[in-house]
Amino acid sequence: MIQNILPFADQQTTGKTDEGRATLVKRLQVATGVRGILCDVAGLLEWRELDYFAGTSIPAVQLLRFDADTFAASAFARVGILRPPGIARSVQKRQADYFYGRLAARLALANGHFKRADIGTGPNREPLWPNDVVGSITHSNGFAAATVAQAARLGGIGIDIEAAISASVAHSIERQIVSRRECEVLRLHPGLPYALAVTLVFSAKESFFKALFGTVGNYFGFDAIALESIDLEENCMHFRTQTSLCPTWPAGRCATVHFRFLSHGEVLTGFCFTSKMAYA
């Protein structure tokens, strides 16, 4: 049985009504230092700031829901978010994803009491955080989210949102994401639809990659870690590295990735590890 569905309508700030829009304007102005931000960011529907992974070391997540079709590129200049040339040349949806991801990052920095900073993009499309910060950004299917922590506390953090894939797609791409052994683990949970389980593992491995990339310094594949078990009561998945990724992440290290289900059908996963190599 799937548990812990997170209703996006609870404890949120929404821009659907005039009253909700006014509240959202005020909160965003305080958090970002930009006046009239909602008027400048057409398409922003909701902002949620919650501790999705309570009981773990993963910090609070800033989650935005938006309508990319009504997004205007002029929001970059008006809100003060840098728009790289590659993004400026991209389609509207890509620009909206990038903008809202960076807006979520700005909100995360403000929530963590960090100095406001422009989050650039590295040569591998990774976010470039201030030296004292580790963080992660994700966007998918009209959602964008970010979380940050002190670099002195965490060695890395990764979050990922994915829309649930269909059964036909799951069976066509499963071998790119999961091994035969991992498929056997997934089938131990008949209450978890197989396509959703594949989506979860894909998202979990994305979160693990994001958290480790700054430490490893290069790309590694989905086969770098293997799923060993899923705990639907605690909403977590247990993995073990299959190869040595770097001196602090040798083959055989365990990693626990936490997950939640969003009420719009998406999955949210998160992973972090401390600077002393423990996992969370």
pLDDT given for residue 26 in this prediction: 60
Inter-CA distances, 270 with 67, 84, 169, 209, Å:
24, 27, 23, 11
Higher pLDDT, 280 or 76: 76
Average pLDDT, the chain: 86
Share of the chain above pLDDT 90, in %: 69
**pLDDT attached to residue 2:** 35
Higher-confidence residue: 53 or 94? Answer: 94
Residue 1 buriedness (CB in 10 A; 0-12 / 13-18 / 19+): exposed
Contacts with 188 (C-beta within 8 Å, 6 or more apart), sequence order: 230
Flag whether pLDDT at 50 surpasses 90: no
pLDDT higher than 60, residue 13: no
* Cβ atoms of residues 93 and 74 within 8 Å: no
Q: Compute the half-sphere exposure of residue 113: CA atoms within 13 Å on the CB side of its CA.
A: 0
Structure tokens belonging to residue 89: 């040349």
The sheet with strand 44-50 has its strands ordered as 13-14, 44-50, 61-66, 143-150, 133-140
Write out the two tokens for 94.
């890509």
Of the listed ranges 55-59, 103-107, 163-167, the one predicted with least confidence: 55-59
Domain borders along the chain are: 5-157, 160-274
Residues 119-142 have a mean pLDDT of 94
pLDDT at residue 279 is higher than 50: no
Question: Who has greater pLDDT, 111 or 211?
Answer: 211
Ramachandran angles phi, psi of 23, nearest 5°:
-65, -40
Instruction: List C-alpha distances in Å: 185 to 90, 158, 161, 231, 252.
Output: 40, 23, 22, 11, 18
DSSP character for 192? Answer: S
Q: What are 196-250's pLDDT values in tens digits?
A: 999 999 999 999 999 999 999 999 999 999 999 999 999 999 999 999 999 999 9
Rounded Cα distance between 280 and 275, Å, is 11
Phi, psi of 155 (to 5 degrees): -80, -25
CA distance 69 to 64: 15
pLDDT at 265 over 90: no
Structure tokens at 119: 């989050």
Choose the weakest-confidence range: 22-36, 37-51, 165-179.
22-36
- Look at the domain 160-274 and name its fold: Ribosomal Protein L22; Chain A (3.90.470)
pLDDT band at residue 8 using 50, 70 and 90 as cut-offs: very low
Q: Please state the pTM of the whole predicted model.
A: 0.86
Lowest mean pLDDT among 49-58, 135-144, 163-172, 227-236: 49-58
